[in-house]
Chain A
Amino acid sequence: MEAFVTHRGLAAPLDRANVDTDQIIPKQFLKAIGRTGFGDNLFDAWRYLDEGAIGKTPNERELNPNFVLNAPRYQGASVLLARDNFGCGSSREHAVWALMEHGFRCVVAPSFADIFLTNSFNNGLLPITLPGDMVDDLFARVAAGELWLTVDLRAQSIQADSGETWAFSIDGQLRQRLLRGLDDIGLTLAHADAIRAFERRRRAEAPWVFAT
């Protein structure tokens, strides 16, 4: 997993609640069997006016000039400001892959859907939950002019170039994992003996679980 320590990036606003993973990466692009190639189809139905297909490159597509992330001022943005319940819907990790491949390293919202949150941490995309009024404040600032934010995971703060800071909090251990980019499976396999011991116990108590 990619480690996350600090990141300075341009913020872009997506002012909609309940943005679901079907919106983030529509299903017709889930047919790929690798982890890459999803960035061009991020928010596909909003970003383009024509219908996409696997293998169709962005130059062959018609951009939707009214979609906020297509505005010239947000090109190269890597911090996404979002609204409540971001990432709801399907469990597809492709949503996180698409956001990251497009260049986003961090999403700031008042709340996230559970599975999306886990998927983000598992890939090194930092989901930051801030109170609604702080998110409103960030939306107001991004509307007022170019907003560059420095996200510091160690200090758990977001700082604007103008100096204002917003504090956030990420659970200590989860933070360590992100800071060091640790392999999650490796962490679990360190407990292999405990897993085996558990299995022996469970097999005695619920043998039907192990019938297959």
Chain B
Amino acid sequence: MSGSTLYDKIWDAHVVAERDDGMTLLYIDRHLLHEVTSPQAFDGLRAAARPPWRLGANLATPDHNVPTSPAERAAGVAGIADATSRLQVQTLDANCEDFGIEEFAINDPRQGIVHVVGPEQGATLPGMTIVCGDSHTSTHGAFAALAQGIGTSEVEHVLATQCLALRKSRNMRIFLDGALPAGVFSKDLALAVIGAVGTAGGTGHVIEFAGEAIRALSMEGRMTVCNLAVEAGARAGLVAVDDVTLNYVSGRPLAPSGAAWDAAQASWRGLRSDADAVFDKEARLDADSIAPQVTWGTSPEMVADIGATVPNPDDADGAVRANAVAAALQYMDLKAGQRLAGTPIDKVFIGSCTNARIEDLRVAAAIARGGRARAKTLVVPGSGLVKRQAEAEGLHEIFLAAGFEWREPGCSMCLGMNDDRLQAGERCASTSNRNFEGRQGHGGRTHLVSPATAAASALAGCLADPREQL
């Protein structure tokens, strides 16, 4: 018999029962909540008079709707100008209070984007099953945790039963060989993977990222890669445990310590695929040949090297694809054959659960240092703790000196549920994860890039290759 994959191992360790309807009940170790996808789930619990199964499994923080301007934040929840946003954040506060769920509320220094907060607190630990009503829960897979996004009915299901009724996905592995060149980052690697396998390439699968280039990444870099696994269609991404993982986890507030740490570490070391494990699907990419990436269309798979030109719909494979390319170019106001680098931009967004960790801000600051923004640029740290760390390192001063705006933590312009959004027709270089039509604001045009490319583009006022500024 062949060995087990990392996914098989975590799955097997969490099977509670097979339900009569053929679904597997998988035990959920950690449940993260935010204000947008939870209110209807709490209502459901109340209506059925069901208590949460295990309170301690849950951790909540508002992120999608919170304003990021220091002035608006100063007054806390009451200061949220948009009444519907305010109500949603208040509803989360009230639900957490009613049910006794721990919440990092709006101006708690630990508040932030839920996928930044979990790892930072050690709420995300190797070998765990983790869910959240948000598709980018895949981020936590960087810790060899089986982490996936769920819908609101499932949020209620997990609250009430601590289980999720699932069918097992298939196993996929993507090898990233070699080493990333200077000026090329984990975001570029992830976008290149999506470009290669497509946005449906991982559908029905859990993707394990392996190979030299992955091992060489920091935890921040691995989180960026797993964050984008969902944009490749997979429900979850995974990276095996190694010293990098353990060093990151060690000492986090919710991580085990002392004798418990020794036991945990011994158990976590086994969180890797067996050498003879068989995968249903495999792909391989060479990291050495990856250049800074920039999306040109309205789906993350519509991506190219920063030095490339915009593709021609006539060259697309089949009519459906050609139509999609043509529609994307029209929406993005780009012409086939036009060079991507040099395309003027109106705004730059450095933030989101993809790229708002301390390492991302350090890279952006290294490029911003001494320069001057030629486009309105927002830097939004992923959490209050990231913000503090950045300020301790003086990064905010570099940003401010370069004319970038330094904001309070939240999702911000990743999806524009608060005031940070694009106006119709505006073009943005963004470190977020989705370039869908209207994602950053009605009629807004998004180019997904790495923090380095975003900072370089901010200084240039147009899409720019960061390697020229390093």
A interface residue numbers (CB < 8 A to B): 15-18, 20, 22-23, 26-28, 30-35, 45, 51, 54, 83-85, 88-94, 96, 111, 113-115, 118-119, 122-123, 171-174, 176-177, 182, 184-185, 187-192, 194-195, 198-199, 202, 205-212
Question: What are 12 A-B residue pairs whose CB atoms fall within 8 Å in the complex?
Answer: A20-B434, A26-B438, A27-B415, A28-B442, A33-B43, A54-B84, A113-B200, A114-B203, A119-B152, A122-B151, A171-B167, A174-B23
Type the 1/0 row for B165-187, where 1 means its CB is closer than 8 Å to any CB of A.
Answer: 10101000000000000000000
Contact status B320-A17, CB under 8 Å:
yes
Smallest CB-CB separation from B205: which chain A residue? A114
Chain B residues within CB distance 8 Å of chain A? 14, 16-17, 19-23, 25, 27, 29-30, 36-37, 39-40, 43, 48, 50, 53-54, 56-57, 59, 64-65, 82, 84-85, 87-88, 91, 102, 123, 125, 127-128, 133-135, 149-154, 156-157, 160-163, 165, 167, 169, 199-200, 203-204, 233, 235, 254-256, 260, 263-264, 267, 299, 320-321, 323-324, 327, 415-417, 424, 434, 436-439, 442-443
The 3 closest A-B pairs by CB, nearest first: A173-B21, A173-B22, A93-B151
Q: Given A194-B25, A195-B163, are A84 and B200 also a contact pair (CB < 8 Å)?
A: yes
A23 to B14, CA, bound (A): 35
Contact call A187/B19, Cβ cutoff below 8 A: yes
Contact partners of A28 in chain B: CB under 8 A: 416-417, 442
Closest to A198 in B: B16
Q: Which residues of A contact B59 (CB under 8 A)?
A: 212
Contact A188-B150, Cβ < 8 Å, known A199-B27, A209-B125, A212-B102: no
Tell me the nearest residue of chain B to A46, going by C-beta: B437
B203 touches A85 (CB 8 A): yes
Q: Which residues of A are found within 8 Å of B65, using beta-carbon distances? A: 31
Within the complex, what minimum Cβ distance (angstroms) separates B227 from chain A? 13
User: Using Cβ atoms and an 8 Å threshold, which residues of chain B touch A35?
Assistant: 40, 43
Told that A33-B91, A188-B165 touch, could you supply 12 new A-B pairs with CB distance under 8 A?
A22-B415, A27-B415, A90-B434, A91-B135, A96-B151, A118-B151, A119-B152, A173-B21, A173-B23, A174-B22, A184-B157, A187-B21
Q: Is the CB of B437 within 8 A of A195?
A: no
The DSSP consensus for interface residues of chain B is: loop
Contact B203 A191 (CB under 8 A): no
Select which of A33, A96, A177, A199 is within 8 A of B39 by beta carbon.
A33
- Chain B nearest CB from A138 CB (Å) reads 15
B residues less than 8 Å from A31 (CB atoms): 36, 65, 82, 84-85, 87-88, 417
User: Which A residues are CB-close (under 8 A) to B417?
Assistant: 27-28, 30-31
Which of B17, B59, B267: most chain A Cβ within 10 A?
B17
Which residues of the other chain, A, contact B84 by a CB distance below 8 angstroms? 31-32, 54
Q: How near does chain A come to B25, taking the closest CB pair, in angstroms?
A: 6
Residue of B nearest to A90 (CB): B135
In the complex, the answer to whether A16 meets B327 with C-beta atoms within 8 Å is: yes
Contact call A189/B160, Cβ cutoff below 8 A: yes
Instruction: Please tell me if the beta carbons of A212 and B57 are within 8 angstroms of each other in the complex.
Output: yes
Report the Cα distance A33→B43, complex, angstroms: 9
CA distance A176 to B161 in the complex (A): 21
Closest beta carbon of chain A to B203's beta carbon, Å: 6
With A and B bound together, what is the CA distance between A113 and B199 in angstroms? 10
B260 touches A88 (CB 8 A): no
Contacts of B19 in A (CB 8 A): 173, 187-188, 190-191
Closest residue of A by beta carbon distance from B59: A212
Measured in the bound complex, the distance between the Cα atoms of B419 and A28 in whole Å is 11
